[in-house]
Structure 1
Amino acid sequence: MTAPLVAVAHGSRDPRSAATIHALLDVVRSMRPDLDVRVAFLDLSAPRVGDVLSAVHGDGHSAAVVVPLLLGRAFHARVDVPAAVAEAERRYPRFRVHVADVLGPDPRLDEAAWRRLAEAGVSPEDRRLGVVLAGAGSSHAPANRLVAAVAERWQGKTSWTGAVAAFAAAAEPAVPAAIEALRARGARRFAVASWFLAPGLLPDRISAQARQHAGGPLIATPMADDAGVAELVLRRYADALAAATSPLRLPTAL
């Protein structure tokens, strides 16, 4: 019996967020109709991780693979996911939960965010354009550096005035400061790319700040149900399952 894939997202009070995560997993199911794919959330949305893992166990499975729908190895990946997995394995001693790597970094995320930006009407040849790649922000500096690295790669392959990372919380620069830095470089038009999987409070905050400071910027939608993201979810699942069945099995926690 193949281990079910349990995709674990952060969760949000905004119902658009959970709906978008479900849409992403619908794409995953369309790519692997043979696979049992379930959705769980760490907080603020239902069902919660523990409840889903209990249901998987109750359905007679001896193992599951948790794929964190997280873009970097910040607090949720390093603390919340392992804690939920440890609790499930404590409750069900013969039940094994294998944890896949987080989604980022990976070129498929870069490409998904790039496609959303192109859909918003952005051209890589626009020399007067400044692009802000906006993410949630984290107290874990390496997670923020991943976003900045994507912006740097975009800058290197376009004619834009500049491309910089900005964050909604917990890290600098904020979107207004990023826009002003691009304006100082000579940008006269602005676009905001999304380093988010789903809509919610933080993406809305970023959009509002951009409109206030940039005057009609092009704003990309979150990566959401992009086919490349769905492929990445399945790749993380396959890698975790392969590691779990290897003679040199890796630890189940991140």
Structure 2
Amino acid sequence: MAAPPLIALARAGHDARTKQTVADLVEEVHHSRSDLRIERAFLEGSRPSFATAVDKLVRAHHEEIVVVPLHLTDSEPLQAQVGAAVAEAEAKHEHLRIRVSRPLGLEPCFLEVLDVRLRSALREARVRELDALVLAAEGSTDPLANQAVARLARVWGTHHRLPVTAAFSSAAPPATGEAVRAFRAEGRRHIAVASLFLAPGPMADRAAELALEAGAITVAEPLGAHAEVARAVLARYAVGAVELVPV
């Protein structure tokens, strides 16, 4: 029996860089699973929409689909948004079964990707000394989602033996600029910022802008279509595909 197709579902794709990153990530996933049918889709009115991706797979005679939300943080509003889209698709296609996996989440292996992006930024800025780090993320109205980012920041700081503060581009304090200024008030001058975003976009841009204005020496690029991110997508897919198998 053929493996169910995968829909990689991102929150929004209004920014061309976001769309390109998701397309590149899908291509990276396909390199590992060339047998797998993969479609990309976006929420919040971006194209291709989730409904369009589902319709395309139904026309190709697929009756089961695994959806992997490409969200780094989980929250009730996002869960509701994805759930509503899935319910609408299943109501439209009577015999279709859709399994939604856990979101991409904050995997420990993503710290390796952050290090890769940060080393690249430090080389470009010709920086050899660091005395503090800021981990910039989107931020959520769900405090548990923000706490997950803060926990990852602490793990990252322990690894590098540097003080690290989690900062958010929306919904929760501190903003990246505040985090950088707080470190500078302690006398720290070599502060770098890592971008815990999947792709470039307005929120990542704003986080970088505020950090640099406050005196950060460099801001790294988001995670992007790294092989570790692709492996995490496939891990989420594998669990969802197993759950579709009748017991």
1:82 and 2:87 matched: no
Unaligned runs of 5+ in 2: none
In structure 2, what residue type is equivalent to 1:121? L
**1: distance between equivalents of 2:202 and 2:192?**
19
Please give the TM-score of this superposition, normalised by the length of structure 2.
Answer: 0.93
1:240 and 2:231 matched: no
Q: Tell me if structure 1 keeps the 8 A contact 2:156–2:164.
A: yes
SS in 1 for 2:167: strand
Partner residue of 1:153? 155
Unaligned runs of 5+ in 1: 248-254
**2: distance between equivalents of 1:186 and 1:142?**
31
Partner residue of 2:196? 195
**2: distance between equivalents of 1:33 and 1:52?**
19
SS in 2 for 1:120: helix
Q: Tell me if structure 1 keeps the 8 A contact 2:130–2:192.
A: no
1:56 and 2:57 matched: yes
**2: distance between equivalents of 1:150 and 1:29?**
28
Partner residue of 2:71? 70
In structure 2, what residue type is equivalent to 1:232? A
Residue 135 of structure 2: which of 122, 133, 136 is its match?
133
1:117 and 2:118 matched: yes
Two-structure CA RMSD over aligned residues (Å): 1.6
Q: 1:61-111: per-residue Cα shift (whole Å, max 9, x none)?
A: 011100000012124531111111111111112100011111113222232
Equivalences, count? 242
Q: Tell me if structure 2 keeps the 8 A contact 1:128–1:186.
A: no
**2: distance between equivalents of 1:127 and 1:159?**
13
**2: distance between equivalents of 1:127 and 1:152?**
20
Deviation at 1:236, TM superposition (A): 0.3
Q: Tell me if structure 1 keeps the 8 A contact 2:129–2:190.
A: no
Please give the TM-score of this superposition, normalised by the length of structure 1.
Answer: 0.90
1:221 and 2:221 matched: yes
**2: distance between equivalents of 1:204 and 1:167?**
12
Identity, in percent, stands at 36
